[in-house]
Amino acid sequence: MAPTQSALSRRAPKPGFAKPSVVTPAVLPEAAPRPPYPFSAIVGQDAMRRALLVAAVDPAVGGVLVFGDRGTGKSTAVRALAALLPPMRAVAGCAYSCDPVEAGGLCPACAARRGQGLTVKTVPVPVVDLPLGATEDRVVGALDIGRALGAGEKAFEPGLLARANRGFLYIDEVNLLEDHLVDLLLDVAASGVNTVEREGLSLRHPARFVLVGSGNPEEGELRPQLLDRFGLAVQVATPTDLATRVTIVRRRDAYERDPAAFAAEWAPEEARLGAQILAARAQLAEVDVPDAILEAAARLCLALGTDGLRGELTLMRTARALASLDGAGTVTLAHLREVAPSALSHRLRRNPLDEAGSEVRIARAFAEVLG
């Protein structure tokens, strides 16, 4: 008996209505984050490394300005130093990563909740890049437009300074940044507080960070008034020693081929240096600066003709931080001699009759005045 038409229609698939097959995409494992280049593995550039270490021990020395050729490890050193430091304890959910044990450094929201107990988390030391095109609102923070339009309430949207609190704020090509922004950043870095007064908002929040600016002098120089505001300034150059260049290339190649293995190889040295920085921070307040050292700093600045007293203050703070880093209990002339070029070279007036570089002039004045 032949099948009926209705039976045939039940057996035959209906064109255009076939059930599509569902393909579940494969879930790829998350790639492990690439470790930064170890600070201890940086070859040469001793002045830059020393300035960054000193600023990490005592941010009160002021920002660090690094001028020099491209490809000399300026940004690498900043990121490596931040990774070298152990993770920090911060208030959970706080946009400013407030320190839960430092009552005087809490933002208004954390200070209000302190009596109820603050939830604490561990976060890495932040490194925030400030792009050249950043506006003042993006840097200091501004009115939260979304909440203003949606809920009709005034709320603050934190900027880059909030993210950089207790960490590092890095500006590449700082000599190309607008002068008023550089001035603003230096003011906040010196005070440790960001004050916002705009669109009916009035707010102060902690903004303690190490300001690091880098640039190529061929692309323009900072105004002398801004140069003087940076605590330390160092010049970096492409190494001319053959063995140094070979070592740099060999280490960089090893890192690029296997970052994790290279970082593991340098981990013991990184741990030692990180512990040294923490010990120096803890000991800093106990380091003695004798009157003779203060007098020597003042005599050196007088001989070099530096304007104001920033030179003496920076010399004292930098020498004290270096002494603490060395594990010394007292600042000596040797510490002063070592930090004088980075603390004073950018504060010297240009002398058309003296073609010697800043570091040569400082070394000469040190020998003449202090022996």
Residue 148 CA to residue 238 CA, distance in Å, equals 51
Concatenating the DSSP letter of every residue in 321-350 gives: HHHHHTT-SB--HHHHHHHHHHHHGGGPPP
- CB crowding 266-283: b at 16 or more within 10 Å, else e: beeebeebbebbeebbeb
Vertex 188: Cα angle to 216 and 94 (nearest 5): 110
The amino acid sitting at 329 is: G
Query: At a CB cut-off of 8 Å and minimum separation 6, what does 328 contact?
Result: 287, 335
Residue 365: which of 312, 322, 305, 293 has the closest Cα?
305
| Burial of 49 (C-beta count, 10 Å sphere; 0-12/13-18/19+) | buried
d(CA 10, CA 13): 8
* Strand blocks (E) in 160-231: 167-172, 193-198, 201-206, 209-215
- 129 DSSP β-pair partners: 170
How would DSSP label each residue in 76-100? HHHHHHHHHSPPEEEETT-TT---T
Given 50, 310, 347, 361, the catalytic residue: 310
The answer to whether the beta carbons of residues 87 and 124 sit under 8 Å apart is yes
DSSP assignment of 132-172 equals: TT--HHHHH-EE-HHHHHHT----EE--HHHHHTTEEEEEE
Active site residue 198: no
Catalytic site positions: 310
